Structure 1
Amino acid sequence: MKGDYQELVDEISELLGEPATLENRDFGLIAFGAHDSDDDSAMDPVRTRSILTRKSTPAVRAWFEGFGITRATGPVRIPAAPDAGVFRDRICLPVRHRGVVLGYVWLLDAEPGPTHEQLAAAMEVAGRIGALLSDEERAGADLSRELRAALTAERGWQYDMALAALRSALGPDADGLHALVCVAPWPTEDAPSARTVPGASAVCTLPWRWGEAAGPAADGPRTDGRPGAARGTGGSRGDGRPGGAHGRAEAPGARGDTYPLGPAGSAEGPGGGRALAVLVRLRAADVLDPALAAADRVRGTAGAGAVAGLAAPRRGLAELDAAWWEATAATRAALAEPRLGPLARWSAIGPYRLLTALPAAPPDPVVAPLLQPAHGELARTAEVFLDHAGQAGRTAAALGIHRQTLYYRLSRVEALTGLDLDDGEHRLLLHMALKAAKL
């Protein structure tokens, strides 16, 4: 980046035939052109101090700003003031981007002085410097507040305003390709700086009860294509935050063979009820390496048991809420089903794409007896049997048991539930109930 500034300053020096100096809006030196003149007045005390100390004094700053350079949109001529240490007239080229002054290019003004055409060409280069300064400022900005507001705002004008603020903060990057990553459980309320996460545009933490549904709306899609907002207890808000009243006391599926039925109304899931959201820039929708690298980086700092979910890539921010829902759904699926983790893509979580959209509810009464801790082995046997499309040989091999043992266990499953495992709809009910219990 520093080299880019130097090249642009040298370009202005070449255009105007005078060595140029670039400072930021706080009068901190960024780059300067070579001074090869024998004229001692070319290096007056103000310019010398600026180059040697890489900054100007508050008095010098106030004196120059008195000529209106902070408001100017074109070149400003400033007369010499020997008493202030300014021995030569100056030309100031304000460096602006999107109407905001970000710095100044300084040149000595000598007769006959640059032409109008030369100054116009120099201002065009100053505009390019402004774009670079804006990009650098944005890259160093902490956009956690803007991202959190966009992911937690209620549907309607609040969401639209939050999205507009995030779009403004991101600048041109807002219209590019992005992928949203969710990491949970996240151990603290603090988020890492976006500058420490490769490819990240913004990072924030969010409260999240991942024993509850966080799916699309119960009241149908919006006319703008985003899922609608869910209504009522036990439903989902549709913005990636659960709205239900029922939780689970532990992260289901941690052992792969238990189906916990923690108390309804549990306040928080693991990790104190927090998740991390990371908005990652992409160059192409089919090249997810930046998102995968960012997810791996932050997941590695989250502690044991943390998993990540990755939403489908999208261009622009219009569907940011839908992307957050996908990312949280994939994370919930990875927490429930370890084989999907530690990084689960929304596109690869299979039936959990539907199950994570359902509001939290007690298990089906027919299946509930099978979900008691005492019957964990039977529940796991039934799930593996259904995962293998009811093929006894493959199921027995996967479980490491004899076929007769498998048949005995399945008969007990039927006795407990009253379901007929030869009936397709009964199988479907049991299969979905077992998967949903892990969530």
Structure 2
Amino acid sequence: MTIDGRVQDLADRIGRPVIVFDADFNVVAFSVHEGEVDTARLSIILSRKGSERAKALIKEHGADRAPGAVLIPVIGGAPPRVVAALRYQGQVTGYVSYVPDADERAEDRDAPAVQEARAELGAHLAARAAEERDGAERVARLTTRLLEGDAHQREMVADRLLKSGLISSSTVYSVMVFAVGDLESRDAAASRLIVERALSRISSIASRTSLRTVIDGTGVLIIPDEVSSQRLLDLINSLWFPGARGGGGSPRARLVDVHESRREAHIALRAAALDPQRYGPTAVWDDLGIDRLLAQLPVEQMTMKDLPDGIQHLLRVSSGADLAATLEAYLDNGADAQRTARTLHIHRSTLYYRLDRIREIVGADLSDGRVRRELHTALRVATLARLR
């Protein structure tokens, strides 16, 4: 018998409309029942999820711990509810809920026939959850092969994923990656939770199907769409997970080539970790500029001695931090003194004084384009290496 059949059978036995939730309070099934449907039940059915208030009441009244059915009384004008935990081998797999008759006896809620029906539902939900886990693991394995397999494997897996509908067909495919923790040690469990939340969030606002997995402690999400910097930032912020970061790769026209987008997304994620002041918690490949190259350097191993002599001298003087910031602003603004002064909110005479001081310390001509390029790059590397 299907889950819908089991739910309908239980509803017929007790003569009341029934709703069944899984352990996460998602609506799994509900019975068809003649007569008026109460507003609360209709709202749950339409939203496909139990309310936060309902979850709290189930915990408060011990329905998750009680061996049998529990009556949750009238609260805030909502009708009373009978709630019983569904179990399999002692583990809660879901809940069944219905509005009781006014003359319903407590012993009727736990009659042998009703207990038997609940046991069947509990076993069915356990099997359903196991199938979902197996399916998710299978998709994760395929996704990993798509990203890390050889060219032949990628072709086969991409074709299989598209034909089976495990990812929606699209004109472009992109990768987002998520991590929690530092660059050396990432929390795989937290990253898995982040990618699950991200997928759930994306699924709630888009109809197309995405792929997900966790590889080496980093959550990976393949979407049939482009990644925009603002949407990625909004997504990370909506997850409310401390320390979460995200990176986005550029789109590819073919699913088989999406491993290239994943590589870019990883570099963007690394850039966000190296310079959170510039990027915040997220970065996208298309916005990286020179950091596409610099974020791939082993900057964690660099010391002050690895920088050009002029920059070493500049960073070591007492006012080095301020002078370095002035030089970087000057170079960022194309050596335009007027624009640099506006950026720094200082008078041009103050800027000229600082530039003369910088020329003296670094021992170089700032009008030389090659010198400016060297200094600009060295300052950026110093920032990524956290040497300034």
TM-score by length of 1: 0.45
How does 1:356-371 map onto structure 2 within 5 Å? 356-358=295-297, 360=299, 362=302, 363-366=306-309, 367-371=311-315
Give, in whole Å, the separation in 1 of the partners of 2:298 and 2:350: 36
**Structure 1 residues 30 and 137 mapped into 2: Cα distance closer, same or farther (>3 Å)?**
farther
| Match of residue 28 from structure 1 | 2
**Structure 1 residues 302 and 314 mapped into 2: Cα distance closer, same or farther (>3 Å)?**
farther
Deviation of residue 380 (structure 1)? 1.3
Query: Is 1:432 aligned to 2:370, yes or no?
Result: no
Task: Provide the identity percentage.
Answer: 30
| Match of residue 352 from structure 1 | 291
**Structure 1 residues 389 and 144 mapped into 2: Cα distance closer, same or farther (>3 Å)?**
same
Deviation of residue 420 (structure 1)? 1.6
Alpha carbons 1:419, 1:426 under 8 Å: kept: yes
Write the deviation string for residues 66-96 of structure 1: whole angstroms up to 9, x where unpaired.
Answer: xxxxxxxxxxxxxxxxxxxxxxxxxxxxxxx
Alpha carbons 2:308, 2:378 under 8 Å: kept: no
Deviation of residue 424 (structure 1)? 0.5
Q: Secondary structure at the match of 1:347?
A: helix
Give, in whole Å, the separation in 1 of the partners of 2:160 and 2:345: 57
Higher RCO, Cα 8 Å, sep 6+:
1
Deviation of residue 180 (structure 1)? 1.0
**Structure 1 residues 278 and 302 mapped into 2: Cα distance closer, same or farther (>3 Å)?**
farther
| Match of residue 203 from structure 1 | 212
| Match of residue 52 from structure 1 | 9
| Match of residue 394 from structure 1 | 339
Give, in whole Å, the separation in 1 of the partners of 2:365 and 2:253: 47
Q: Secondary structure at the match of 2:255?
A: coil
**Structure 1 residues 305 and 414 mapped into 2: Cα distance closer, same or farther (>3 Å)?**
farther
Letter in 2 for 1:196: S
Q: Secondary structure at the match of 1:390?
A: coil
| Match of residue 160 from structure 2 | 168
**Structure 1 residues 292 and 371 mapped into 2: Cα distance closer, same or farther (>3 Å)?**
same
More helix, by proportion: 2
Query: Is 1:279 aligned to 2:222, yes or no?
Result: yes
Alpha carbons 1:180, 1:327 under 8 Å: kept: yes
Query: Is 1:182 aligned to 2:177, yes or no?
Result: yes
From 263, 276, 299, the equivalent of 1:325 is: 263
**Structure 1 residues 387 and 201 mapped into 2: Cα distance closer, same or farther (>3 Å)?**
same
**Structure 1 residues 294 and 388 mapped into 2: Cα distance closer, same or farther (>3 Å)?**
closer
| Match of residue 93 from structure 2 | none
**Structure 1 residues 379 and 281 mapped into 2: Cα distance closer, same or farther (>3 Å)?**
same
Give, in whole Å, the separation in 2 of the partners of 1:312 and 1:408: 43
Deviation of residue 340 (structure 1)? 3.9
Deviation of residue 423 (structure 1)? 0.3
How does 1:17-416 map onto structure 2 within 5 Å? 28-29=2-3, 52=9, 141-142=136-137, 143-148=139-144, 150-151=146-147, 153=148, 157=150, 161=153, 164-165=156-157, 168-169=160-161, 171-172=164-165, 173=167, 176=170, 177-186=172-181, 188-190=187-189, 191-192=192-193, 193=196, 196-199=200-203, 201-207=210-216, 275-282=218-225, 293=231, 296-301=234-239, 303-304=241-242, 306-335=244-273, 336=275, 338-358=277-297, 360=299, 362=302, 363-366=306-309, 367-372=311-316, 375-416=320-361
Alpha carbons 1:337, 1:438 under 8 Å: kept: no
Count the aligned residue pairs. 241
* Unmatched segments (≥5 aa) in structure 2: 12-130, 204-208
Alpha carbons 2:179, 2:187 under 8 Å: kept: no
**Structure 1 residues 391 and 204 mapped into 2: Cα distance closer, same or farther (>3 Å)?**
same
TM-score by length of 2: 0.50
Alpha carbons 1:138, 1:169 under 8 Å: kept: no
Write the deviation string for residues 256-305 of structure 1: whole angstroms up to 9, x where unpaired.
Answer: xxxxxxxxxxxxxxxxxx543222232xx5xx57x965663345446455
Give, in whole Å, the separation in 1 of the partners of 2:369 and 2:378: 14
**Structure 1 residues 161 and 370 mapped into 2: Cα distance closer, same or farther (>3 Å)?**
farther
Alpha carbons 1:310, 1:344 under 8 Å: kept: yes
Give, in whole Å, the separation in 2 of the partners of 1:373 and 1:149: 52
RMSD: 4.0
* Unmatched segments (≥5 aa) in structure 1: 1-26, 32-48, 55-135, 208-273
Alpha carbons 1:181, 1:295 under 8 Å: kept: no
Write the deviation string for residues 320-371 of structure 1: whole angstroms up to 9, x where unpaired.
Answer: 2321222122233344263444443322222223333456474433333334
Write the deviation string for residues 356-395 of structure 1: whole angstroms up to 9, x where unpaired.
Answer: 3456474433333334595222221111110111111221
Provide runs of 4+ in structure 1 moved above 6 Å.
136-140
Letter in 2 for 1:178: Y
